[in-house]
Structures are given as structure tokens and as C-alpha cells.
Amino acid sequence: MAKQRRVWMTGPGKSPKPPVPDSVKAELEAKATDLIENVLKPKHVLPPRVGEQFNYITDIGTKWYRNYFYFISTYACPAPNALSPTFEAKFARLEYRGAGKFALSFMRHTGEWTGMYDAPLSIHECMKAIRADDWFVP
């Protein structure tokens, strides 16, 4: 019996993600900065203890990458055998879904993003969830 020939076919392409409008970017950055300065930094960025040998948070910031907006914490590594003096770790991700709505995810200990709120949320709802939910701790 003869083998069947396999034929390559093109599949349907992914639908393009909607671009983030500048007004939405500006509003999100302003509310995220307010949340960081008034809630997250006072709670999580603490001075190191004397003789600290373990990593500790020195700063919390944000960063855009394509349609994703990340909350990032910067850690200091005071141990003498540390590979680098600091490193960054992302702890929350907002993915733009269109119409001023975002999907909210958190970083698991396995290094994978887990969608906590896949239903699109407004910017205000996202900031409220990051402030109140324990999954979004830096």
C-alpha cells in the first residue's frame, strides 16, 4: 500500500491585538503610579535589617511591552556570593483587550502567568484588585 503524501496548508491567522490608545496608556500609568506611591511602596519597600543576607525589595515600578503593562519589583541581593547586586521580578500583568478594558494576571511561583481576571476589567477595577488581592503581592 502506498503512503499518503502530507501537504502543508496555511491555517487561519491570529486576529491582531488592538493597539493601546495613548489616552488609555496615560490614564493607566497615572493610576498605577498613584497605587505604587501610596499603597505598594509604603507596605512592601522597607529598609533592610542590619546584616541582611536575604533579598529584599528596594523599588516597585511599571513597564509597557506591546499590549502588556507590567508591575515590577526590584530586589537587592546583599549576600557576598550574589550573582548580581539587583534583579527585577514581574508580579502583575494587565493585557489590553480593547475598549479601555484589561485582563489581569499574576506571576506564579512556577514562572507562568495565571489569568486571575480573564473577563475584561476597567482600569479602576484592575487597580482595586491589585490593591486588595493577595495574589498580586510583589
Range 54-62 average pLDDT: 93
Range 120-128 average pLDDT: 93
Q: Which of 55, 54, 61, 68 is nearest to 17 (CA)?
A: 68
Range 27-32 average pLDDT: 96
Within a domain: 117: yes
Q: Is the pLDDT of residue 123 over 80?
A: yes
Within a domain: 91: yes
Which of the two residues, 79 and 62, has the higher pLDDT score? 62
Within a domain: 19: no
Which of the two residues, 14 and 36, has the higher pLDDT score? 36
Range 52-81 average pLDDT: 92
pTM assigned to the model? 0.84
Query: How many independent structural domains does the chain possess?
Result: 1
Within a domain: 84: yes
Within a domain: 100: yes
Cβ pair 121, 105 in contact under 8 A: no
Within a domain: 130: yes
Within a domain: 110: yes
Judged by phi (left if over 0) then psi (alpha if -120 to 50, else beta), residue 64 lies in: beta
Per-residue model confidence (pLDDT) at position 13? 77
Query: Residue 123 sits in which domain range?
Result: 29-46+54-136
Within a domain: 16: no
Range 110-120 average pLDDT: 86
Hey, what amino acid is at 73?
A: S
Cβ pair 92, 104 in contact under 8 A: yes
